Structure 1
Amino acid sequence: MKTYKVYLVLLILAFSCTSKQHKKEVPVSKPNIIIIYADDLGFGDIGINGAKGVKTPNIDFLAENGINHLDAHCSAATCTPSRYSLLTGSYAFRNKAEVLPGDAPLIINPNKETLPSMLQKGGYKTAVIGKWHLGLGSGKVDWNKEITPGPKEIGFDYSFLIPATGDRVPCVFVENQQVLGLNPDNPIEVNYLEKLDGYPIGLENPDDLKQKADPQHSQTVINGISRIGYMSGGEEALWKDENFPFVLTDKAKHFITENKENPFFLYFAFHDIHVPRAPNKRFAGKSSMGPRGDAIAQMDWCVGELMNHLKESKLLENTLVIFTSDNGPILDDGYKDKAVELLGSHKPAGIYKGAKYSIYEAGTRMPTIVFWPGNIKPGQSSAMLNQVDLFASLASLTGGKLSEEFAPDSENHLDAWLGKSNIGREIMIEEAFTLALRKGNWKYIEPQERPTPDWLVNKEVETGLMTTPQLFNLDDDPEETKNIASEFPEKVEEMRNALNEIKRKQ
């Protein structure tokens, strides 16, 4: 009897220890979430999707051990609209969101629910690090004091921003809505209409530039690179473009370390591979394509650094990572960095037609990878997805509440994002100076009466802007080579009506 009691006690202790060990291995109910948002990265710009002339081993690792989505889209073919849709769950055309100047006010209404505010209410610590380009303040921005409203007012606990984008002034970092390193005795002034004294102007000093630029990008010169807009003051706070990967990645690592005991949401928005492409010398020659290819290699290094930090922090198994981009690729976007001349056999958009600014598939079909060890079976998916749906999908994942008042266009397709289903959206909109409708593999492009913007005319982009309707069957013609609208007038009418119904939705 005594022997039996001893055995029973040992069995209970063994079970208790096993249970505790098992408990440690079970992910908590609310995983950490990181959205890695590249800039101007095309579907074909990563190795797993066929890149030539540059290697992306860290991104490829995510794809090989996660879900590589082949028909996933940003909502628009330019940066501000896509970022707006990602964070609000609303198509950008509803707010007439377009590419913003560097001194524009915040275009997200602080009174509306956003992806970060929804997660914040659910107990997440939230951060945005990197390129913002959604406006700051409510009128003319005073860069010399706290700038409000901004990320804090729409749900981010911490922010470290490139306030607009690298080719626009002001060329300073903004941390928690104040310019980092600003000397109050050397205040910043920004003007997008009138020239300011203080810095050289690209048009007047072309021989002093690291890269020649078109007239639009030939105003204030900072760090040997001319930008859009005029700036004076703030010398102590100026960034160096070559340091972006290290500064931003270090800030991301620090946020993760500070919040590893809590569920956290990190929106990590790279500047790469947007112009001006000024990769650090550490990455010079890492590709055969010059600065654009080297910037892709630099971006891949940042991904690797972030993933290594998650692994070292023992957070990898409980962190959902979504890697994607804001719009399609562009070669010559204002700076002469030999992106066209050194392209070689590389196809930035893969087989798809168009580019950044284009309503064709290359404008919005993004490299998209979802990685979550132990929770995702590696593979590929052809489910049609849109970044506007991350709001509703992540609400479903985390138990967040989604009011009908907000995120009007966001649908819950969590199973498709995680690779548990190959069924995604039935219908969605694409934006690029006009609207297109995808319904399954049918694609309808709405006629556009307005002329192509002047600044876009010389970019050699197949915009897809026409005064007549366009219809494609992507099953038969994924490269959108033949407009079959005249052959299927009933399908055109069906698609037009479906598009108009979505446009009327409030």
Structure 2
Amino acid sequence: MNKYVCILITCLFGSSVWLTAASNQPPNVVIIYGDDVGYGDVGAYGSTMIPTPNIDQLAQEGLRFTDGHCAAATCTPSRYSLLTGVHGFRHGVAILPPNAPLSIPTDILTLPKLFKQAGYETAVIGKWHLGIGAEGTPVDWNGAVKPGPLELGFDHSFLLPSTNDRVPCVYLDGHYVLNLDPENPLYVGKSPREVNRPGSTRYPDGRKDKAAMTYYRSTHGHNNSVINGIGRIGFMAGGKAALWDDETMADVFVDQAKQYIAAHKDQPFFLYFASQDVHVPRAPHPRFQGKTELGYRGDAMVQFDWTTGEIMKALEAHGLSENTIVIFSSDNGPVYDDGYADGTRINKSLGELDRGHDGSGVYRGGKYQIYEGGTRVPFIVRWPARIQPGSSDALVNQIDLIASFAALLGLDLAEDAAPDSRNTLDAFLGKDTQGLPFMLEEAPNDARALRVGQWKYITATAKSWVGPAEPERLYNLADDPSEQNNLVSTHPEKARAMALQLQELMAADGLRQ
């Protein structure tokens, strides 16, 4: 680090809580973010059918939260909330299609911008799925692809630009598609007609050419352009030299993370590492295939465990392990087949388990659902310099990381910055065993829930493709963690009070107001 920057940070934050006797540097921060990884997919949280020794070691060396949550039961809103401190429903943020514009305004505070205020270098590596480009302007994948992460405060960006079941199936390095051949330009659209341009490679349409899906078959929209024998959502043409290899994706992201850590070992950095595992289409490297009895989903989880271990080894190799905060979590709860015949099997007699494995643990539901299994996810915080290993029942949420890191670094948040993010630093450090006094949860189809202690109130929801219409619900999670006994009729006053509180919180400008 430049000595003048060091002096500036010491002057500004010399009394901040991150200073330790062992170091006068602020901690590095690494977020290892899983995709569709459920509470029960990790050994430290009760999994018996998926070996996760590296994540389990992280849990043994850190603080394992038993009531840790993402902000939403689907991917894009959770990632939006993590990086902005704003609930996705306030701005209509939902799961994004291919070619969606950037969903985060470039003029608001973000987590990487916060770290940059404190003199950090910042990076995002892995899955993005928050949109790229400007509203109303088609993305030119053959030129500078922006605005994106670099306009939101990240100094370095290496991306899976959307998600691995969507086109374009290429890596985005900074503003440019990696290895793109200008003689074979890349086009992305919603129909074959939009993308079929002279001189660009055409890919099979899985709806018409099912035999092209040689890796495994896929359905309900995951069968448009077939890339690497796998059907995708959306259509693309061209970019053949730039195509990713699904089976080596974890290796590519790990190599990028190792390079970044090595290059920035002498200065404080923030690394947001967003894995594609265990999202569909699951295509773990052959060295992980067959490591479980749960098909590619279980094997992909083993691969994600390896990924976690490699990042931890890289930190250790550069002497960074002691003063690096590592946060391990997931963007939402588990989902099983989800459109691809990848070997994941659902046994209805076991309550929609995968051959006896329940990715949500004892909790009901999973991805797309407002029940606890949709947002209660593995949540581990490791910082050997400051956090005592153990387990915490404190109620915590990823949306509160911005306010909590602001407190850690001695920075003040503007009144309109990250309005839904609250300072729960003491809970993250293991000093507060209660955590949040209340918390919002969201899922598709306007499903909303309020947690107050162990009480949970869920609004009435309309019928959706993941379930039937349901009335309002009230659960006492202390007695009923699986949300089986609706107490609205026996506790009507509690239900009315929580319904009113939820309505007021949703209508407010933010939870800090």
Q: TM-score by structure 1 length?
A: 0.91
* Aligned-pair CA distance for 1:102: 1.5
Query: Which of 164, 171, 174 matches 1:173?
Result: 171
Q: Which runs of 5+ in 2 are unaligned?
A: 1-18, 197-201, 348-353
Instruction: Tell whether the 8 Å contact from 2:38 to 2:359 is kept in structure 1 after alignment.
Output: yes
SS of the residue corresponding to residue 369 of structure 1 reads strand
1:312–1:25: structure 2 CA closer, same or farther, 3 Å change rule?
A: farther
* Aligned-pair CA distance for 1:489: 1.3
Instruction: Tell whether the 8 Å contact from 1:360 to 1:464 is kept in structure 2 after alignment.
Output: no
2:154 — aligned with what? 156
* Aligned-pair CA distance for 1:228: 0.5
2:76 — aligned with what? 80
* Aligned-pair CA distance for 1:340: 1.4
Is structure 2 residue 110 aligned with structure 1 residue 114?
yes
Instruction: Tell whether the 8 Å contact from 1:38 to 1:270 is kept in structure 2 after alignment.
Output: yes
Instruction: Tell whether the 8 Å contact from 2:20 to 2:385 is kept in structure 1 after alignment.
Output: no
1:491 — aligned with what? 494
1:470 — aligned with what? 473
Aligned-pair identity (%)? 50
Q: Which runs of 5+ in 1 are unaligned?
A: 1-22
Distance across 1 between alignment mates of 2:486 and 2:238? 53
Is structure 2 residue 382 aligned with structure 1 residue 375?
no
Is structure 2 residue 253 aligned with structure 1 residue 278?
no
1:479 — aligned with what? 482
2:457 — aligned with what? 444
SS of the residue corresponding to residue 250 of structure 1 reads helix
- The AA in structure 2 aligned to 1:203 is R
For each residue in 1:348-368, what CA deviation from the matched residue of structure 2 results, as whole angstroms up to 9, or x when unmatched? Answer: 110000010000000000111
- The AA in structure 1 aligned to 2:239 is G
Q: Counterparts in 2 of 1:233-244, with a 5 A limit?
A: 233-244=238-249
Distance across 2 between alignment mates of 1:271 and 1:386? 21
1:435 — aligned with what? 448
Query: Which of 189, 193, 215 matches 2:187?
Result: 189
- The AA in structure 2 aligned to 1:118 is L
2:24 — aligned with what? 28
* Aligned-pair CA distance for 1:205: 2.3
* Aligned-pair CA distance for 1:464: 7.5
- The AA in structure 2 aligned to 1:446 is T
Q: Counterparts in 2 of 1:119-130, with a 5 A limit?
A: 119-130=115-126
Query: Which of 358, 361, 374 matches 2:372?
Result: 361
Is structure 2 residue 226 aligned with structure 1 residue 230?
no
Is structure 2 residue 487 aligned with structure 1 residue 500?
no
Q: Counterparts in 2 of 1:14-93, with a 5 A limit?
A: 26-93=22-89
Query: Which of 313, 335, 356 matches 1:308?
Result: 313
Instruction: Tell whether the 8 Å contact from 2:68 to 2:396 is kept in structure 1 after alignment.
Output: yes
1:465–1:64: structure 2 CA closer, same or farther, 3 Å change rule?
A: farther
- The AA in structure 2 aligned to 1:473 is N
Query: Which of 128, 144, 147 matches 2:145?
Result: 147
Moved more, 55-64 or 417-426: 417-426
* Aligned-pair CA distance for 1:465: 4.7
Instruction: Tell whether the 8 Å contact from 1:39 to 1:325 is kept in structure 2 after alignment.
Output: yes
Q: TM-score by structure 2 length?
A: 0.90
RMSD, aligned α-carbons: 1.5
Distance across 2 between alignment mates of 1:221 and 1:176? 26
Is structure 2 residue 402 aligned with structure 1 residue 391?
yes
Distance across 2 between alignment mates of 1:102 and 1:26? 47
Instruction: Tell whether the 8 Å contact from 1:29 to 1:398 is kept in structure 2 after alignment.
Output: no
For each residue in 1:142-197, what CA deviation from the matched residue of structure 2 results, as whole angstroms up to 9, or x when unmatched? Answer: 11111121111111000000000000000000011211111112111111144444
* Aligned-pair CA distance for 1:281: 0.4
SS of the residue corresponding to residue 407 of structure 2 reads helix
* Aligned-pair CA distance for 1:290: 1.1
Distance across 1 between alignment mates of 2:89 and 2:451? 16
* Aligned-pair CA distance for 1:28: 3.0
- The AA in structure 1 aligned to 2:176 is Q
Distance across 2 between alignment mates of 1:362 and 1:419? 24
- The AA in structure 1 aligned to 2:159 is L
Distance across 1 between alignment mates of 2:306 and 2:360? 21
Is structure 2 residue 413 aligned with structure 1 residue 402?
yes
1:424–1:489: structure 2 CA closer, same or farther, 3 Å change rule?
A: same
Q: Counterparts in 2 of 1:240-251, with a 5 A limit?
A: 240-251=245-256
SS of the residue corresponding to residue 82 of structure 1 reads helix
Q: Counterparts in 2 of 1:345-356, with a 5 A limit?
A: 345-356=356-367
Query: Which of 290, 304, 307 matches 1:299?
Result: 304
- The AA in structure 2 aligned to 1:61 is Q
For each residue in 1:316-344, what CA deviation from the matched residue of structure 2 results, as whole angstroms up to 9, or x when unmatched? Answer: 01100000000000001110112115932
Distance across 2 between alignment mates of 1:415 and 1:24? 16
Instruction: Tell whether the 8 Å contact from 1:102 to 1:163 is kept in structure 2 after alignment.
Output: no
Instruction: Tell whether the 8 Å contact from 1:66 to 1:379 is kept in structure 2 after alignment.
Output: yes
Instruction: Tell whether the 8 Å contact from 1:102 to 1:169 is kept in structure 2 after alignment.
Output: yes
SS of the residue corresponding to residue 252 of structure 2 reads helix
Is structure 2 residue 206 aligned with structure 1 residue 206?
no
- The AA in structure 2 aligned to 1:405 is D
After TM superposition, where is structure 1 displaced by more than 3 Å over at least 4 residues in a row?
A: 193-197
* Aligned-pair CA distance for 1:257: 1.0
